[in-house]
Structure 1
Amino acid sequence: MANIISDETIEYVGILAKLELNEEEKEHAKKDMGSMLDYIDKLNELDVTGVEPMSHVFPVKNVFREDVVTNGDGHEEVLANAPEEKEQSFKVPKTVD
């Protein structure tokens, strides 16, 4: 089933995609788009009777969990290594003028 893609279709798709295509690129795009449509036609020939539609190949489940603090913030231990401290933060030399 050779899908014929018109020059107008390629122009329109180019405008939608904000692409500037030269003539050679347009011809290549026509062939590519035709191949894609041929593949879709081939997929449409498959018998999918009894096959449930899905959005993912693998089952997807909600992976969210409650945040639980297990070790505290540890800021005192971290700041113990600071050469200088200011307002519970590392104090560093100014590097940008």
Structure 2
Amino acid sequence: MDAKDIEKVAHLARLGLSGAEREAYAQDLSRILDLVSHMNAVATDGVEPMTHPDTAGLRLRADAVHQEIDRNQLMAVAPEARDGLYLVPRVIE
């Protein structure tokens, strides 16, 4: 990509870029596109598609209750509560 291509993309995205920024973006995007073309050149025939790169799976813990918390204890520390709900100041009028 050159600065002219970056200028077109910047115009479409409604971005204001200086000349130095256009040059820097042109170099960065050229490197990214080179990397993508290099990755596309890798032979992937016979490679099975994966749903996730980590095949180990999830480590799950047992779904068991360890300690019950009394709702009344939790409500007792609230500055304001009514009918089992915390009352907070209104932020949108």
Q: Which TM-score band (shorter chain)?
A: 0.5 to 0.7
Aligned length: 82
Which of the pair has more CA radius of gyration?
Answer: 1
Q: Which has the higher contact order (CA 8 A, sep 6+)?
A: 1
Offset at residue 86 of structure 1 (A) = 4.9
Q: Percent identity?
A: 28
Following TM superposition, the consecutive aligned residue runs of length 4 or more in structure 1 with deviations greater than 4 angstroms are 70-73, 79-91
Residues 76 and 12 of structure 1: is their aligned pair in 2 closer, same or farther, counting only changes over 3 Å? Answer: same
Q: TM-score, normalised by structure 1?
A: 0.55
CA distance in 1: counterparts of 2:80 and 2:18, whole angstroms = 62
Matched to 1:53, the amino acid is P
Matched to 1:27, the amino acid is E
Residues 60 and 10 of structure 1: is their aligned pair in 2 closer, same or farther, counting only changes over 3 Å? Answer: farther
2:24 corresponds, among 8, 28, 32, to 28
**Where does the alignment leave 5 or more consecutive residues of structure 1 unmatched?**
62-67
RMSD: 3.7
Contact residue 2 and residue 23 of structure 2 kept, 8 A: no
1:40 corresponds, among 36, 40, 50, to 36
